[in-house]
Amino acid sequence: MSEKFREGIPAWTREHAESLRRDDSNVAPVIYPPDERLDDDLHIWDTWFLRNRDGSVAEIDGYRVVFSLTSSSDLLPGKRHDVATIRYFYSRDGEEWTTGGVVFDGGALGQRQWAGSAMYDPDGDGGDVYLYYTAAGEDGAEELTYTQRIAVATGGTVRTDDAGFSIEGSWDHRIILTPDGDWYEREDQSRGMIYTFRDPWFFEDPASGETYLLFEANTPVPEGAGECDDPVWEEFNGSVGIAHSPTGDPTDFELRPPLLDAVCVNQELERPHLVVRDGTYHLFVSSHVHTFAPGLTGYDALYGFVADDLAGDYEPLNGHGMVLTNPKGAPFQAYSWLVYDHGDDLLVSSFFNYFDYDRPSLDDVGLLPPEEQQRRFGGTLAPTVRVALDGDETDVLGTLGHGHLPLPRETLPTPWWERDGDATR
Ligand code: FRU
């Protein structure tokens, strides 16, 4: 690998991250448990919409659809990642969701499936739905392993009638991307925490019409590379990866250099995705307090970056990157944020994570008695947060209900500060 392996890659730097602070513009209101969870039998976490090829939310005969990582709610929440299964849910109004069921009929790759994205293309060769996911763990291994590969499943067909919506089909699964070891770290190169190569996000660039897949990755930093002032920081090497489809075939991608990296800063830039507005590219990721390098104070939060084109010179929003975080007294109440455009504002969905837990890390949550672990885990969708975007600055405006996901054509409920005639909030 050349010494210039990071040349030209936009960086989220320590200098940016040193000014991370909670303030009125980025803290979400405290979340309380909803009257009803999405599904009492399930823990539900990372969630994504079924979208059209151009990124708009698909609406099929009046139904919108989300996919989520799920497990049985009998399981201790900390164990859920080991058995994650993708299920789908559908809704006519974006408020009441019906559980559709498990998506795959048994042939999914990996020991379990982690996050991804879903594209609806009834005119494509792959059935109606292209479901991108992370094949986590080695197929056939007896022990749980942490290998991550990017997979696509094709062949699912959708059906609707008055009774509801369903996805059926005999899916065809294939691995479409693995890390190359130069731009993207392989498992055997990892020097610190477990490497990442996951969370594929389908994206068609409106400027060129070209087809891409974004994903979470790490930049390989060889020992002695001298990338950071302190060699320990070199283990914190998160990146936003991208692959391009030369033909537009949504199952055939080639790796390209990362869009952004956070070497010396943060190890996990999770679930990267883009919102393009008026030709400006807003790149969002989720990250954790514990994945920041020593000497930096970060938060479990949604972070964002802005550039003039897809492979542009991404700069952090708000100077430091933080867009939305949890309150000080409930620092882990939500995670895995996804942003979509809604008229003047952005809407941000996430899942309701650990509440009633105001410790600085989640390290000891597993030491609580099992019933306390269960009680404090939300395991359903969090209230959707409405965020204003003005140039490179953002401002949290308020929240909608748990799991309320309106389409752009649907008007949002009037915020309380306008309802009671009070202009201040
Ligand atoms: C974020 C995440 C994703 C991954 C999933 C596994 O919540 O870490 O990156 O796909 O959880 O459960």
Q: Using alpha carbons, select from 282, 276, 306, 273 the residue that is nearest to residue 209.
A: 276
- The answer, yes or no, to whether any atom of ligand 1 lies below 6 A from the CB of 268, is no
Chain mean pLDDT for the chain: 95
Q: Is position 46 annotated as part of the catalytic site?
A: yes
Overall average pLDDT of the 108-127 stretch: 94
* pLDDT at site 421: 53
- The answer, yes or no, to whether any atom of ligand 1 lies below 6 A from the CB of 335, is yes
Q: What's the Rg (C-alpha) of the chain?
A: 20
**23 C-alpha vs ligand 1 centroid, how far in Å?**
26
Architecture per CATH, domain 14-419, reads as: 5 Propeller (2.115)
**42, 44, 46, 80: which to mutate for ligand 1, most atoms within 8 A of CB?**
46
Q: Give the start-to-end residue ranges of the domains of the chain.
A: 14-419
Could you tell me whether strands 85-91 and 377-381 are parallel, antiparallel, or unpaired per DSSP bridges? Answer: unpaired
Rama region for 212: left / alpha / beta (φ>0; ψ in -120 to 50; rest) = beta
Nearest atom (ligand 1) to Cα of 84: 12
* pLDDT at site 2: 46
DSSP assignment of 360-417: S-STTGGGS-HHHHHHTEEEEEPEEEEEEEETTEEEEEEEEEET----TTSPPPPPHH
Which of the residues 128, 204, 234, 270 is marked catalytic? Answer: 270
- The answer, yes or no, to whether any atom of ligand 1 lies below 6 A from the CB of 198, is yes
Q: Is the pLDDT of residue 110 over 50?
A: yes
Q: Is the pLDDT of residue 420 over 80?
A: no
Nearest atom (ligand 1) to Cα of 46: 7
Q: Is position 172 annotated as part of the catalytic site?
A: no
Q: Is the pLDDT of residue 185 over 70?
A: yes
Interface pTM, i.e. ipTM: 0.92
- Taking the C-alpha atoms of residue 321 and residue 262, their distance in angstroms, rounded to an integer, is 12
Q: Considering Cα of 410, then 23, then 329, then 266, what sign does the dihedral take?
A: positive
Strand partners, 122: none
Overall average pLDDT of the 61-85 stretch: 97
Q: Is the pLDDT of residue 105 over 90?
A: no
Q: How confident is the model at residue 169 (pLDDT cuts 50, 70, 90)?
A: confident
Nearest atom (ligand 1) to Cα of 268: 9
> Which residue CA neighbors atom 8 of ligand 1 most closely?
270
Do 332 and 354 meet the contact criterion of CB atoms below 8 Å apart? yes
Helix/strand/coil percent split, the chain, to 5 = 10, 45, 50
- The answer, yes or no, to whether any atom of ligand 1 lies below 6 A from the CB of 85, is no
pLDDT digits (tens, 9 = 90+) for 306-330: 999 999 999 999 999 999 999 999 9
pLDDT digits (tens, 9 = 90+) for 217-272: 999 999 888 999 999 999 999 999 999 999 999 999 999 999 999 999 999 999 99
* pLDDT at site 414: 78
**84 C-alpha vs ligand 1 centroid, how far in Å?**
10
* pLDDT at site 369: 97
**114, 240, 326: which to mutate for ligand 1, most atoms within 8 A of CB?**
114
How many percent of the chain have pLDDT more than 90? 90
Neighbour count for residue 371 (Cβ, 10 Å): 8
* pLDDT at site 1: 47
Q: How confident is the model at residue 416 (pLDDT cuts 50, 70, 90)?
A: low
User: Which DSSP category does 151 fall into?
Assistant: E
